[in-house]
Amino acid sequence: MLKSSKDKFHFGVSSMKCPQCGSDNPANSSLCQSCAASLAEPGEYILTETIRAPAKELDSGAVFAGRYQVIEELGRGGMGRVYRVLDKKLGEEVALKLIKPEVASDEKTIQRFRNELRTARKIGHPNVTRMYDLGEDEGTHYITMEYVRGEDLKSFIRRSGRLTVDKAITIAGQVCEGLAEAHRQGVVHRDLKPQNVMIDRDGNARIMDFGIARSLTGKRITGEGAFIGTPEYMSPEQVEGKDIDQRSDIYSLGIVLYEMLTGRRPFEGDTALGVAVKQKSETPPDPKLFNPQIPDELNRVILRCLEKKKESRYQSAMDLLSDLEAVKKGLTMAEKTPVIEPKLRPDDKKKWQGSVAVLPFANMSADPEQEYFCDGMAEEIINALTQVEGLRVVARTSAFSFKGKNVNVRDIGRELEVEAVLEGSVRKAGNRLRITAQLINVADGFHLWSERFDRDMADVFAIQDEIALAIVDKLEVKLLGKEKASLVKRHTADPEAYTLYLKGRTSFMMMTEEAFERGLNYLERAAAKDPVFALPLAGISLLYITRSYWGKMRPHDAYPKAREYARQALEKDKSLGQAYAASGFIKGFYDWDWTGAEKEFKKALELNPNDSDNHVFYFFFLTCTGRHDEAVIEANKAQELDPLSSNINTHAAQTLYWAGRTDEAVELLKETISMDPAFFMAHWDLYLIYSHKSMAQEALAECEKAAELSGGHPLAVIGLVAGYNRLGRMAEADKLERGLRDRSQVQYVTPMAFFYIHLGRKEFEQAAGWLEKACAERDGFLPWILVHPNPARRVPDLPIFNDILKKYGLKS
């Protein structure tokens, strides 16, 4: 099916529409200001009068010219749209470029195409993409060429920042070899740029689009004097309209090499004309200004390529290749750019083998509300991969901590200590999805795998399965039969139910009362939409547990509901680890059935050993039952899976403190606060340790910070009351206590808060009353007081307290 759009691509227009998100951008933009997608091809402009001609567009599945079945659109630029298609005649995949009507309107232009392609087809070289044919169907001209799976060099540079010296020389050398063969055949590229260099799946450079640029630059297209080019990569003689030979390609390659090593081009400007003028008249900045690690010899090679007079440049691609090889051979270890690999201790090496981080997918849709869907896609892939034994998968909290930050993917990988990073994007329009995903090797920044999917919403589950299986395959992790079944398991076949579940999970993770209510609504609707969908039920169970444990909901109101939802989830799916974890938490911290709780926690870990939350629940249990050494081991496992989680690091520090390793706990808490200064629990735990060490002023400062950040959480308030009393600031302590009592009249406040206030004043009778109330209500903070490392925070060994604890089975 053919349809048309009225996009404008010309020099001097006021705006350009982004092909990805549809937003308007200034005409001289290289990247979309909304989504950072390429506009046409960055820096490429057609210098001509305004043209309003429709450009053909093919839907996925359409058959063009009775022969080419469209698989997906690969991109669009100044020439037209490019598609990955199946050539039904040959049974092979090829690239199909539809030429814009305004470009193909002149018969002389088409004839030049034919002549150039006839010559270009003679180029047979591993570093050159083969050109096949020029054809026409119902007035639409097209070019077919070899389809190369991989990533263009421009995208790679943008993602990596800059390349290592070794990698840049290798790519430039391969481009030289391809150019040398083309030049031998009498073909000059004339539009060499990173967008026209593909890095295939084996890491080899492949030059694209030979034979096109020369056809377009030879004569006027519109009769008003037009040319297509990319000013950022043009040679001076090309800007001036003079005769072009192989030395123009060498100039362009010099700019590409400059960009690979510095992450920027030598000449930038606000307009295409401004950049073109600089190519003709300005001396390029020394590359070493932007990357001091460039060896002097290589620096001289780059600048020689960029000589204004072509007689002063390398005269052939082979001459340039010879010098590049000499530079590479002559590099000493001291001169080489250090290989970008993480510095690991010997015992850390194991952590990097078979390890991956899945970043949140970028939302390329115009609707910001689709953010939840993008996050949910990544989270579901994380959850699927955690089923694979031997594969370390960084948890959501750490992987998502880089969202919205301009951080290089390889730096993210090193920070998370993983072998590979998966990143991607989602564009959703109605019921159609375009999902891209690429698995990147942290060591060198190259793709291990990449794919683009143009599908209906109903195919989202199949896409997730394909991505997860590709990751396992590329990381060479052995996959057992039962693990593969878990990896591609369908939790629901209903896209609407799945969407509601993703919204619920995203809301839940915000950890505010408003978000809890919103998340609960979405999860309940998801469960109602698909009666066999177990994940929303487990999510609701965990939501109620979280609300109660953080002191936001009365235990008797929360835990019975949590138990019922966990039961329903397991009734529908007995392999759901998070439902067992929820059940274990309920049995431990509400029923005080510690034997039954451990059985559930172990089942959760057996089903899903790579879920950091399962390890967190289990080390909570181990700490609360006094098994501190085991708790520290479990905490370390949780940290490995989710190294940047403030919650996990804080509770891991708490576990160290309870195990008697106080100095280590303080160090970890300080690191956590430096990473996330707004996480109130880290300040609260530091307050507890300073109190234990009789550091009154330091303790009070941390407690005040915890109270400020939490909006007056009862735990922080009771710490302030104790601190003010200790320092003789009685009036302030009394005011805080009255405020807490007033609050308890309108919302739930843990009884343990008032227990500690009276215990601190040695008002044992009033403290006992609050202890009984806490026992009767199954207060979530109660079990911890039996094993607390600070005697001042444990229940005194007095009959008035012992009788209550024995009555409720907390003491024998």
Do 364 and 584 contact (CB within 8 A), yes or no?
A: no
CATH value of 348-445+461-478 in 3.40.50, 3.30.200, 3.20.20, 2.60.40: 3.40.50
Beta strands in 331-406 (DSSP E): 355-358, 362-363, 392-393
Q: Which of 254, 313, 318, 260 is nearest to 284 (CA)?
A: 254
Nearest 5°: phi and psi at 477?
A: -95, 130
Instruction: For domain 1-339, give the CATH number.
Output: 1.10.510.10
Nearest 5°: the CA angle 398, 401, 406 is: 130
pLDDT at 346 over 60: no
Give yes or no on whether 1-339 and 491-609 have one common fold.
Answer: no
Beta strands in 160-305 (DSSP E): 197-200, 205-207, 227-229
Nearest 5°: phi and psi at 35?
A: -125, 0
Cα(754)–Cα(550) distance, integer angstroms:
16
Residue 438 identity? Q
Please state, rounded to an integer, the average pLDDT across all residues of the chain: 82
Cα(195)–Cα(153) distance, integer angstroms:
6
pLDDT-derived band of residue 252, with 50, 70 and 90 as boundaries?
very high
Do 641 and 618 contact (CB within 8 A), yes or no?
A: no
Cα(503)–Cα(682) distance, integer angstroms:
28
pLDDT at 56: 64
Cα(762)–Cα(796) distance, integer angstroms:
10
The residue written with tokens 């092979």 in the block is 92
pLDDT-derived band of residue 107, with 50, 70 and 90 as boundaries?
confident
Report how far apart, in Å, the C-alpha atoms of 43 and of each of 229, 248, 269, 270 are. 8, 18, 10, 11
Average pLDDT estimate for 311-332: 88
The model's pLDDT over 181-237, given as tens digits with 9 standing for 90+, comes to 889 888 888 889 999 999 887 788 999 887 554 543 443 333 333 344 688 999 999
Q: Which of 101, 100, 238, 248 is nearest to 188 (CA)?
A: 248
H/E stretch holding 76: strand 68-76
The model's pLDDT over 720-733, given as tens digits with 9 standing for 90+, comes to 988 888 888 889 98
Cα(148)–Cα(95) distance, integer angstroms:
8
Average pLDDT estimate for 118-130: 83
* Percentage with pLDDT > 70 across the chain: 84
pLDDT at 376 over 50: yes
Residue 316 in tokens: 């052939």
Sign of torsion, CA 675 676 679 680?
A: positive
The model's pLDDT over 755-803, given as tens digits with 9 standing for 90+, comes to 988 988 889 999 999 999 999 999 988 888 888 888 888 889 899 999 9
Cα(87)–Cα(36) distance, integer angstroms:
32
Report how far apart, in Å, the C-alpha atoms of 258 and of each of 128, 157, 324, 444 are. 21, 11, 13, 19
pLDDT at 304 over 90: yes
Cα(736)–Cα(761) distance, integer angstroms:
15
Do 682 and 646 contact (CB within 8 A), yes or no?
A: yes
- Facing residues of 197 across strands? 207
Terminal Cα distance for the chain, rounded: 78
Residue 748 identity? Y
Do 162 and 291 contact (CB within 8 A), yes or no?
A: yes
The residue written with tokens 């001091």 in the block is 292
Instruction: For domain 491-609, give the CATH number.
Output: 1.25.40.10
The model's pLDDT over 408-451, given as tens digits with 9 standing for 90+, comes to 788 888 889 899 998 888 887 777 888 888 888 888 777 788 78
pLDDT at 125: 87
pLDDT at 226: 37
Residue 664 in tokens: 């280590």
Residue 96 in tokens: 């199909």
Cα(178)–Cα(250) distance, integer angstroms:
12
Do 495 and 460 contact (CB within 8 A), yes or no?
A: yes
pLDDT at 598 over 80: yes
The model's pLDDT over 141-158, given as tens digits with 9 standing for 90+, comes to 898 988 888 888 988 887
pLDDT at 270: 78
Nearest 5°: phi and psi at 406?
A: -85, 75
H/E stretch holding 47: strand 45-47
Torsion angle in degrees (nearest 10) through CA of 303, 306, 307, 310: 140
pLDDT at 354: 81
Cα(566)–Cα(736) distance, integer angstroms:
38
Residue ranges of the domains in the chain? 1-339, 348-445+461-478, 491-609
H/E stretch holding 97: strand 92-99
Nearest 5°: the CA angle 776, 782, 788 is: 155
pLDDT-derived band of residue 488, with 50, 70 and 90 as boundaries?
low
Cα(616)–Cα(630) distance, integer angstroms:
12
Residue 651 identity? H
The model's pLDDT over 534-577, given as tens digits with 9 standing for 90+, comes to 999 999 999 999 888 877 789 999 999 999 999 999 999 998 99
Do 72 and 84 contact (CB within 8 A), yes or no?
A: yes
